[in-house]
Chain A
Amino acid sequence: MTVPARDDARFEQEAMRWLPDVSRFALSLARDDSEADDLVQDTFLIAYENWNQYVPGSQCRAWLFTICRNHFYRTRSRAERQVATDAPELEALAAAAVHASAKADGLDDAFERSEVLEAIETAMAELPQPFRDAAILVDLHDHTYDTASAVLGVPIGTVRSRLFRARRLLQEKLIAHARDAGIAPRLAGPDSRGTTQ
Chain B
Amino acid sequence: MMPMLDCDSVMRQLWDYLDEELTPDRMEAVRQHLAMCERCHPHANFERTFLDAVAHARREHSNPSGLAARVRNALAAKGYAPA
Between A and B, how many residue pairs show CB distances below 8 Å? 120
Asked whether A40 and B67 contact (CB < 8 A) given A45-B75, A145-B19, the answer is yes
**Subset of 7 A-B contacts with CB under 8 Å:** A8-B83, A20-B61, A33-B61, A37-B70, A40-B71, A102-B46, A141-B58
Docked-complex contact B47 and A99, CB < 8 angstroms = yes
Docked-complex contact A28 and B46, CB < 8 angstroms = no
Residue of A nearest to B39 (CB): A96
Docked-complex contact A144 and B60, CB < 8 angstroms = no
Chain B min CB distance to A84 (Å): 19
Docked-complex contact A116 and B14, CB < 8 angstroms = no
Docked-complex contact A99 and B82, CB < 8 angstroms = no
Name the residue among A9, A28, A95, A109 with the largest chain B CB count within 10 angstroms.
Answer: A95
Q: Is B4 an interface residue (CB 8 A)?
A: no
How many A residues face the partner with a CB closer than 8 A? Answer: 53
Docked-complex contact A140 and B82, CB < 8 angstroms = no
Cα distance, A190 to B8, chains bound together (Å):
35
5 additional A-B pairs beyond A23-B61, A102-B46, beta carbons within 8 Å, are: A16-B82, A103-B42, A116-B53, A120-B57, A142-B55
B49 surroundings in chain A (CB, below 8 A): 109, 111-112
Docked-complex contact A44 and B54, CB < 8 angstroms = no
Cα distance, A46 to B8, chains bound together (Å):
47
Chain A min CB distance to B18 (Å): 10
